[in-house]
Structure 1
Amino acid sequence: MTLPAAIMIDPAAAEQEWEEARNLMVDDQLRPSEISNPRILKAMRSLSRQDCVPTAQQALAYADVSLPLGEGRVLLQPLLTARLMQAANPLPGQHALVIGAGTGYSAALLASLGLTVTAVESNAALSEQGQALCSAMSSVHWVRGPLSLGEESHAPYDLIYFDGAISTLPAFCHIQLAADGRVVGLMHKAGDLSELFVATPAPEGTTGFILTRLSEARCPLLPEFVPSRSFAL
């Protein structure tokens, strides 16, 4: 049985519409907002963001909004992802750890920028979708496991990238980050408000990280990094 011609979908025409949507996203949202890294702009013109959201959300895949993925998780709005990527300064040949990889968009972006990527996701449904998106990318190693532990077997990493907000830097960052590496993500402030940050190891002979706070953004906490509540009597 064939569909009537009036409602048949032309794959070539559909892909052209998605390509136009990606170009509008870059030219109307990213470039006017000081996203100037040409490699990042090129990658975001190419990667199929619509494959990273539920079917019902695909029409909004390139809109300037974060999109719900279920269970409190979101696909970050394009501009926020671009700002994180630009702050991360990903370079070809480097090794990145993506925490909270979700449906794979940021992991796929980093891979398309020439990095080897270890992507960690704890949510079964999101992990399945993310693995499918990255299945053709040999430079992406997908791990389903707890976000709070990172992934020691592939450390050290030049870049640890949190694809969502955290309340504090987890302990694994101290162990799994290369000596000259950096951590990028969103540090929770209050409600759904966070700050984009870049953290680098403190100078030799000292401990901890030097944290540089950048622009504010609205982003939910990754579930495993929600602080536990304490009660005082």
Structure 2
Amino acid sequence: MTLPAATRIDPTASTQEWDEARNLMVDDQLRPSEISNPRILKAMRLFAREACVPPAHQALAYADVSLPLGEGRVLLQPLVTARLLQAANPLPGQHALVIGAGTGYSAALLASLGLTVTALESDTLLCQQGQQVCAATPSIHWICGPMPLGDESRAPYDLIYFDGAVPTLPAFCHTQLAAGGRVVGLIHKAGDLSELFVATPAPDGTNGFILTRLSEARCPLLPEFVPPRSFAL
């Protein structure tokens, strides 16, 4: 993965310098792009995103780019995360399921916003890293296991949050979402291009969803949701 040129910060920077980089991210990337929820802005000013970034890319922790986590996974660029959180409208006391929790950035932000979070991650190494990042946050429960079935044991969820792209809404969203809940994430379009969405259950009581498409973003499919290749004879 080739990373574009971006403002870097020395990984050995002082706490004050990391704080300044975090504030610059909010003021230069998020606020000018219509991220206006003060709770989300505050959370992203306070949580140390650099803790979720592999050492090789830690200098770009607050750059306007997605960062590789290995095995085709990425830590989404800060603006995409902020847009997903704002679309999700997370409220204190609610329960969220994060699919593809990676190194724990989105799960930690949701927990800091007052939610109880179930973080589901299939990659063992990423799951271990995420657990370490979130070790001091008891409101996050980590599960290392397959993503396509969600987590029925703690359902229903007020929010199902995909921290990556999927080709379509998985079936478990119908059965594990609480009444009045919502699903947010990215729907894959082509190549590495995806589209942010928020989905709410259809009011007619069927298993359908009303899908509202938001802005486009570059994000790969979560590996476990890549459709199998079909071969023509």
Corresponding letter in the other structure for 1:179: A
> Which of the two has greater helix per residue?
1
Structure 1: unaligned runs, 5 residues or longer: 1-8
Secondary structure at 1:35 match in 2: coil
Give the Cα separation in 2 of the matches to 1:138 and 1:153: 18
Secondary structure at 2:148 match in 1: helix
Give the Cα separation in 2 of the matches to 1:159 and 1:204: 20
Q: TM-score, normalised by structure 2?
A: 0.94
Give the Cα separation in 1 of the matches to 2:206 and 2:119: 30
Corresponding letter in the other structure for 1:232: A
Give the structure 1 partner of residue 39 of structure 2: 39
Give the structure 1 partner of residue 70 of structure 2: 70
Secondary structure at 1:111 match in 2: helix
Deviation at 1:207, TM superposition (A): 2.7
1:192 corresponds to 2:192: yes
Deviation at 1:232, TM superposition (A): 2.1
1:53 corresponds to 2:53: yes
Give the structure 1 partner of residue 7 of structure 2: none
Give the structure 1 partner of residue 160 of structure 2: 160
Corresponding letter in the other structure for 1:136: A
What is the aligned-residue identity percentage?
82
1:15 corresponds to 2:15: yes
Deviations 1:118-172 (A, max 9, x none): 0000001100100001111010000000011111110000000000000011111
Superposition map of 1:109-188 within 5 A:
109-188=109-188
Corresponding letter in the other structure for 1:159: L
Q: How many residues align?
A: 223
Check whether the contact 2:188–2:221 (CA below 8 A) recurs between aligned residues.
yes
Corresponding letter in the other structure for 1:62: Y
Secondary structure at 1:148 match in 2: coil
Check whether the contact 2:159–2:182 (CA below 8 A) recurs between aligned residues.
yes
Give the Cα separation in 2 of the matches to 1:67 and 1:149: 26
Structure 2: unaligned runs, 5 residues or longer: 1-9
